[in-house]
Amino acid sequence: MNIGRFLAERTRLMRASEIRELLKWITENVISFGGGMPDPSSFPAKEIMEVTREILSTKADKALQYGTTNGVAELREELVRFMGKVGIKVEGPEDVLITVGSQEALDIIGRVFINPGDYIITESPTYLAALQAFRIYGPRIIGIPMDEEGMRVDVLEDTLRKLSNEGRVKFIYVIPTGQNPTGITMSMERRRALLDIASKYDVLIVEDDPYGYIYFGDGEPPSRLKAMDSEGRVIYLSTFSKIAAPGLRLGWVAASREVIRWFELAKQSIDLHTSTLNQYIAAELLRRGIIERNIPRIKEIYRTKRDLMLQALSQYMPEGVSWTKPSAGMFIWLTVPENIDTGEMLEIAIKKYGVAYVPGKSFYPNEEKRNNMRLNFTYPTPQEIFEGIRRLALAIRDYVQRPR
Amino acid sequence: MNIGRFLAERTRLMRASEIRELLKWITENVISFGGGMPDPSSFPAKEIMEVTREILSTKADKALQYGTTNGVAELREELVRFMGKVGIKVEGPEDVLITVGSQEALDIIGRVFINPGDYIITESPTYLAALQAFRIYGPRIIGIPMDEEGMRVDVLEDTLRKLSNEGRVKFIYVIPTGQNPTGITMSMERRRALLDIASKYDVLIVEDDPYGYIYFGDGEPPSRLKAMDSEGRVIYLSTFSKIAAPGLRLGWVAASREVIRWFELAKQSIDLHTSTLNQYIAAELLRRGIIERNIPRIKEIYRTKRDLMLQALSQYMPEGVSWTKPSAGMFIWLTVPENIDTGEMLEIAIKKYGVAYVPGKSFYPNEEKRNNMRLNFTYPTPQEIFEGIRRLALAIRDYVQRPR
């Protein structure tokens, strides 16, 4: 039977992620910079094995049973301490909600805040899975351009001023540290300005911070927005996917108690709660300091791989190609001459040169630019990084010289 | 700051589950029949420990990494075999989607199929978390009364006939075996009639089957609807929560490839995918036959506890109280005289007599009846079952004799 007539209207808003669609073309001879996966050598597999054994020997009754929607108390308490070390002060574990990765938090945010037609604001470009999660709820998404210091707060203020009569701007979504896809880290000055502007126009801020804890620039990253938030305006998201392992599917939200209460109600009907076993594992990884001891190692792996990719880019890329130099995150954002459509170029890159990337257009809320691509440097091996960038440069030259 | 003005309209449809709200009153002296938790002695904790160790020793790179949205291939393949043994034939692992418990499948079903104002049909009473999940999407829910053979298919057909002009009946949601909350198992004759009627009026069937594999009546349970489905009309849901452990948060859907493809798109924006580690654990529990060897033990535990509760009910309950005798599931459905409002009675039951249950009204799509309660027999100990039923009988007598 054909199920077309049964589908809800909103299924028109469901699009397959291009990143995932593109994987279908990839064979084992293709070097992929397309994903966003951590280096598996950074996973604390042995430690996870040990803590799992202990948990299942001492409290299997609890760890294998149903749990509460907001999450295992021990984990929320550990997270209050963990966030405290980077200056994020939350009143207590009641201000924390455990989610199935940060992705679930993005869906919950859309569900709780977005009416069709509401405005939301993002960096442009921004994380495409956030766009995907929000779009289902029918918002009008306004992208604010970025420069090397992050979101252009002057453009943000102009935009909010113009929209203030219309009302209904719900939130500003930002990834301040090691932004996805650009790798840019927002400057301290911009962070302060962003908070001031959000306060002046009374909108919420969603701070997505998957990469803050593994910032590999010199010194510490600029302060989290949540750490500077005196009004309960910032909804802070982070994840264990980058500091421990994505296979646990664990993320968390820190926000005012009122926000958390609504999120909890939303989550209850989505999936009741997050895996109890995995939450106990994460709590124990934090309690024993395993995550904190693992972080310097992850930073070192990513710093080295970033350096390699930057070196390969310098060595191979033709004139007219530029790229970001990230101090955090997992991606380099490459800009090619404007006559190149990276979406169109992808097929020859994969099929003829055996190299894959994510075309930039999906990251723009309104798909305005076509001459960027996102390159992941955390998953490929050093050899793959060098060889893949060499192939990519060849693909670019070939595409530019093609007959039209 | 007050977040009231930021909330989406749909938050009005989010209600805290009464089951979960009620837990707040419960102290350690209260015997609770309120939850729906398995007996923790049924969890294969040692086996989970062993398979986890093996998985993390041999394929941590995959088990701790991101995975695909539809789920780990090995697990979907094992499930095709597992379902095959009860007569459910799916073409292959592409027809299976792994979810974060069955609850996520319920949310996905709402998201993919329900437009505001669409009709959906359920048994009345039915599983309240399904009502919660569907309600967010704004359907009109029509409850069909049940008798000891399950959903009244004559009433179902009358209803569909009346609605056929209006169109837009999307699906019929049923829990055919050990129904929640009533414990009723639908007869074979009714199952055939249900399929015929759904075909005649061209509506989908959602078959929620958490309890089929642990049916503890004589012989085997009646055939799954999905096993009799020749049209790809049945969307089949089940879960590892009752055959292994709820703490893994693993459920699955089996449906036509076209349905699975839409569900996969929906899930991608909800949470990307289900925990990879937990999926490998479940695959290995199936592959090694651990789940199948554990099932007879679970059946025995639940049969014994059900018998105990039935015996205690016979011994203590006053005239005018009746109850179901389930062959599957986790609940007995108690009916008290119509002058008793079990919602109102709950406070004295908990505070004065130290016993808790779930008032029946939340299980009715339209809250029409107030003289039922749901009693869980799987989680409390044998002693608690006897003592709790004794207390409940006292509470009923007290409530009936109260001055008005």
Q: What is the CATH number of domain B45-291?
A: 3.40.640.10
pLDDT: which is higher, B183 or A13: B183
Reduce the DSSP state of residue A225 to 3 states and report it.
coil
Confidence band of A79 (pLDDT split at 50, 70, 90) = very high
Chain B: residue whose CA lies nearest to A43: B64
User: What average pLDDT does range B62-88 have in this prediction?
Assistant: 97
Architecture of domain B4-43+295-400: Alpha-Beta Complex (3.90)
Q: Please name the member of B53, B233, B241 whose beta carbon is closest to the beta carbon of A49.
A: B53
Using left for φ > 0, alpha for ψ between -120 and 50, and beta otherwise, residue A275 falls in: beta
**Cis ω on the peptide bond leading into residue A181 (within 30° of 0)?**
yes
Q: Please name the member of B53, B100, B273 whose beta carbon is closest to the beta carbon of A53.
A: B53
Chain B residues with CB under 8 Å of A275 CB are 100, 247-249, 275, 278
- Is the model's pLDDT at A102 over the cut of 80? yes
* Letter string b/e over residues B288-310, b meaning 16 or more CB atoms within 10 A of that residue's CB: eebbeebbeebbebbeebbebbb
Cα B386 from Cα B371, distance rounded (Å): 22
Note the pLDDT of residue A26: 75
Mutant choice from A270, A279, A280 vs B, greatest count of B C-beta within 10 A: A270
- Is the model's pLDDT at A21 over the cut of 80? no
Mutant choice from B54, B66, B256 vs A, greatest count of A C-beta within 10 A: B66
Residue range B187-220, pLDDT digits in tens: 999 999 999 999 999 999 999 999 999 999 988 8
- Is the model's pLDDT at A168 over the cut of 90? no
Q: Please name the member of B7, B67, B278 whose beta carbon is closest to the beta carbon of A275.
A: B278
Q: What is the average pLDDT score of chain A? A: 95
Reduce the DSSP state of residue B249 to 3 states and report it.
coil
Q: What is the CATH number of domain A12-43+294-400?
A: 3.90.1150.10
β-sheet bridge partners, residue B145: B124
| Cα-based angle B24, B25, B30 (whole degrees, multiple of 5) | 120
Note the pLDDT of residue B15: 77
- Is the model's pLDDT at B404 over the cut of 70? no
In a 10 Å sphere around its CB, with 0-12 CB exposed, 13-18 middle and 19+ buried, how is residue A292 labelled?
middle
Note the pLDDT of residue A1: 82
Residue range A258-297, pLDDT digits in tens: 999 999 999 999 999 999 999 999 999 999 999 999 999 9
- Is the model's pLDDT at A167 over the cut of 80? no
Long-range contacts of A388-392 (CB under 8 A, 24+ apart): A388/A31, A388/A32, A388/A33, A388/A355, A389/A309, A389/A312, A389/A313, A389/A315, A389/A316, A389/A317, A390/A312, A390/A316, A391/A31, A391/A349, A391/A353, A391/A354, A391/A355, A392/A33, A392/A316, A392/A349, A392/A353, A392/A355, A392/A357
Q: Which amino acid is at B235?
A: I
Minimal C-alpha gap between B233 and chain A (Å): 7
Note the pLDDT of residue A17: 66
DSSP state letters, A95-150: GEEEESHHHHHHHHHHHHHPPTT-EEEEEES--HHHHHHHHTT-PEEEEEEEETTE
Minimal C-alpha gap between B322 and chain A (Å): 30
Long-range contacts of A282-286 (CB under 8 A, 24+ apart): A282/A75, A282/A78, A282/A240, A282/A244, A282/A248, A282/A250, A283/A72, A283/A74, A283/A75, A283/A77, A283/A78, A284/A51, A284/A54, A284/A55, A285/A44, A285/A47, A285/A48, A285/A51, A285/A244, A286/A75, A286/A78, A286/A79, A286/A81, A286/A82
β-sheet bridge partners, residue A69: none
Residues in chain A: 404
Cα B275 from Cα A403, distance rounded (Å): 48
From A10-24, A236-250, B221-235, the region with the lowest mean pLDDT: A10-24
Chain B residues with CB under 8 Å of A117 CB are none
Contact A247 B63 (CB under 8 A): yes
Cα B283 from Cα B98, distance rounded (Å): 11
Residue range A197-206, pLDDT digits in tens: 999 999 999 9
- Predicted interface score ipTM higher than 0.85: yes
Whether the Cβ atoms of residue B236 and residue B252 lie closer than 8 Å to each other: no
Which residue's entry shows tokens 């837990």?
B23
Which residues does A278 contact at the CB level (< 8 Å), separation at least 6?
A: A248, A249, A250, B275, B277, B278
For chain B, give the percent of residues with pLDDT over 70.
97
Note the pLDDT of residue B259: 97
Cα B361 from Cα B342, distance rounded (Å): 8
Of B161, B173, B160, B171, which is closest to residue B122 (Cα–Cα)?
Answer: B173
Chain A residues with CB under 8 Å of B206 CB are none
Of A331, A336, A340, which is closest to residue A374 (Cα–Cα)?
Answer: A331
Mutant choice from A21, A269, A278, A281 vs B, greatest count of B C-beta within 10 A: A269
Domain range summary for chain B, segments of one domain joined by +: 4-43+295-400, 45-291
Confidence band of B22 (pLDDT split at 50, 70, 90) = low
Which residue's entry shows tokens 């803590």?
A51
Cα A232 from Cα B340, distance rounded (Å): 45
Minimal C-alpha gap between B338 and chain A (Å): 31
β-sheet bridge partners, residue A204: A171
Q: Can you give the three-state secondary structure of B279-340, one letter per residue?
A: HHHHHHHHHCCHHHHHHHHHHHHHHHHHHHHHHHHHHHCCCCCEECCCCCCCEEEEECCCCC
Whether the Cβ atoms of residue B39 and residue B305 lie closer than 8 Å to each other: yes
User: What average pLDDT does range B42-58 have in this prediction?
Assistant: 97
Residue range A28-68, pLDDT digits in tens: 899 999 999 999 999 999 999 999 999 999 999 999 999 99
DSSP-derived pairing of the beta strands B119-124 and B355-356: unpaired
User: What average pLDDT does range B257-266 have in this prediction?
Assistant: 97
The two three-digit tokens of residue B177, written as one number = 């075996």
End-to-end CA distance of chain A: 45
In a 10 Å sphere around its CB, with 0-12 CB exposed, 13-18 middle and 19+ buried, how is residue A69 labelled?
buried
Chain A: residue whose CA lies nearest to B49: A53
Residue range B142-167, pLDDT digits in tens: 999 999 999 999 999 999 999 987 77
Note the pLDDT of residue B46: 97
Note the pLDDT of residue A19: 61
Cα A55 from Cα B293, distance rounded (Å): 24
Of B333, B330, B327, which is closest to residue B377 (Cα–Cα)?
Answer: B330
Which stretches within A151-289 are classed as H helix?
153-163, 188-200, 257-271, 276-287
Chain B residues with CB under 8 Å of A273 CB are 249
The two three-digit tokens of residue B334, written as one number = 């108690």
Confidence band of A338 (pLDDT split at 50, 70, 90) = very high
Note the pLDDT of residue B20: 63
Of B340, B381, B382, B386, which is closest to residue B359 (Cα–Cα)?
Answer: B340
- Is the model's pLDDT at A27 over the cut of 70? yes
Cα A263 from Cα A108, distance rounded (Å): 6
Note the pLDDT of residue A118: 96
Note the pLDDT of residue A23: 62
Instruction: Tell me phi and psi for residue A384, to 5 degrees.
Output: -65, -35
CA distances from B119 to A58, A235, A267, B110, B134 (A): 48, 36, 24, 12, 11
Which residues does B369 contact at the CB level (< 8 Å), separation at least 6?
A: B125, B360, B361
β-sheet bridge partners, residue B143: B122
The two three-digit tokens of residue A161, written as one number = 């001023």
- Is the model's pLDDT at A187 over the cut of 90? yes
Chain A residues with CB under 8 Å of B231 CB are 1
Chain B residues with CB under 8 Å of A48 CB are 56, 60, 64
Confidence band of B18 (pLDDT split at 50, 70, 90) = low
Contact A65 B137 (CB under 8 A): no
Confidence band of B2 (pLDDT split at 50, 70, 90) = confident
User: What average pLDDT does range A129-154 have in this prediction?
Assistant: 97
Contact A245 B270 (CB under 8 A): no
The two three-digit tokens of residue B144, written as one number = 């069909």
Whether the Cβ atoms of residue B29 and residue A132 lie closer than 8 Å to each other: no
Of A60, A79, A98, which is closest to residue A264 (Cα–Cα)?
Answer: A98
Note the pLDDT of residue B184: 97
From A207-216, B53-62, B162-171, B278-287, the region with the lowest mean pLDDT: B162-171
Note the pLDDT of residue A403: 75
pLDDT: which is higher, B78 or B401: B78
Residue range A150-159, pLDDT digits in tens: 999 999 999 9
User: What average pLDDT does range A311-339 have in this prediction?
Assistant: 97
Confidence band of B368 (pLDDT split at 50, 70, 90) = confident
Of B116, B132, B194, which is closest to residue B362 (Cα–Cα)?
Answer: B132
The two three-digit tokens of residue A138, written as one number = 């029918």
Instruction: Tell me phi and psi for residue A354, to 5 degrees.
Output: 70, 40
